[in-house]
Structure 1
């Protein structure tokens, strides 16, 4: 996984999200109900592979991303135990928290971040925002109409409203939404986990699909949390970066 300097879509995608999506598919297949039924329970292997892959990527990324990935793992551990085991929001195949899951959250975060930093994305930012927004709306609408996914649709609407006032992070969150949608479809299709038919299995007026379309809304807390931890540990560097950014924005407005 690396930042691609190419000006075309396919290489930028393949070197970042393409690698991530392939790994998600293969990793979740190893932990799938199909493999359990036809071979044996290989969740231990999925955990082992994740440790190896995560360690390699952690070694290759720059120090800032490395620190954020480690923070993401800690936040993901807390989130998984709270939402899955505590609140019953979703349930894993063995009714546990597989060890590969928290590290997987960090890899999704890194993959999306690297994609949005590619040269292609920077040169086509507005176009990609429009395309991703359209896909998000169509995806959530499809689930609402054909799976009665009221819960997911409401979360999607909240997400889009949230992004209206976040132009700098908008594409990152849109790509995160679609990446999580892919992950959830693969994971639930392989029966690695499942979602109840109503939100939290407790709110009857919020029917939910398996998976809910807008569930990536909760992943945004992962990004905000990692950013908060980084700011707390590097307050001086963060303030300096903000000043540089503000100067750049003023110069850009002056030229326009």
Structure 2
């Protein structure tokens, strides 16, 4: 993955999210029920490939994103054990936490971040925000009416309401939402994991689809956690960056 300077959508997409989506499609297929039924359990291979891809990505990204990706892995490990094994929010095929999953979360984080930093996105932010928001509304509404996905719909609405007051972060989180939609549809279609028919398999008043449409709401904690740890380790640099941002904003208003 790399920051694209192109001002055209498809090159910007292919060099960032396109690569990420290809990783997801192939990697999860290797761990799918289809492969297990027709060949053998190859989760070990999916883990090995992820280690290689993750290592290459760490080597290619800049120092700041590299550090944040490490935080993402650590946060993802804690989150996976808490939400999946601890709370039973969703279940993996072998009822474990596959080793490739935490590293996969970090790759999603990096892919989304690089896409939002492309010249195309920076030049078309408002347009993309409207398009992505419309897609999210249509997607979550479809799941609500045709799959009785109340849980996912509530999470999607909460996400959009929060983002109304977060203009600076909005593009990143809208993109993250759609990236997670792709990830969840591929993963559940391959039966790498599944979601119960109600939220946490316990809240009957919140029926859920497999996957819930707005589940990316919980992925936002990953980004917030990465930023929190990064700011704690680089307080001076972070403060300097905020001051520069304020100066630029004041200059623009003037």
The answer, yes or no, to whether TM exceeds 0.5 is: yes
* Correspondence for 1:28: 28
**SS, match of residue 204 in structure 1:** strand
Report deviation, 1:59: 0.6
| Cα separation, 2, equivalents of 1:165 and 1:231 | 22
| Cα separation, 2, equivalents of 1:6 and 1:236 | 32
5 Å-filtered alignment, 1:32-71, equals 32-71=32-71
| Cα separation, 2, equivalents of 1:179 and 1:111 | 9
| Cα separation, 2, equivalents of 1:41 and 1:243 | 53
**SS, match of residue 206 in structure 1:** strand
Report deviation, 1:162: 0.8
Report deviation, 1:47: 0.1
| Cα separation, 2, equivalents of 1:111 and 1:52 | 16
Which of 69-78 and 159-168 deviates more? 159-168
* Correspondence for 1:79: 79
Report deviation, 1:116: 0.2
Q: Is 1:124 equivalent to 2:128 in the alignment?
A: no
**SS, match of residue 166 in structure 1:** coil
5 Å-filtered alignment, 1:147-186, equals 147-186=147-186
Report deviation, 1:175: 0.4
Report deviation, 1:167: 0.5
Unaligned runs of 5+ in 2: none
* Correspondence for 2:115: 115
| Cα separation, 2, equivalents of 1:184 and 1:116 | 21
1:135-182 Cα deviation digits (max 9, x unpaired) = 000000000010000000000010001101110110100000000000
* Correspondence for 2:90: 90
RMSD: 0.3
**SS, match of residue 212 in structure 1:** coil
**SS, match of residue 205 in structure 2:** strand
| Cα separation, 1, equivalents of 2:161 and 2:253 | 26
Report deviation, 1:122: 0.4
1:184-242 Cα deviation digits (max 9, x unpaired) = 00000000000000000000000000000000000000000000000000000000000
* Correspondence for 1:242: 242
**SS, match of residue 205 in structure 1:** strand
| Cα separation, 2, equivalents of 1:6 and 1:59 | 23
**SS, match of residue 245 in structure 1:** helix
Unaligned runs of 5+ in 1: none
1:7-66 Cα deviation digits (max 9, x unpaired) = 100000000000000110000000000000000000000000000000000011000000
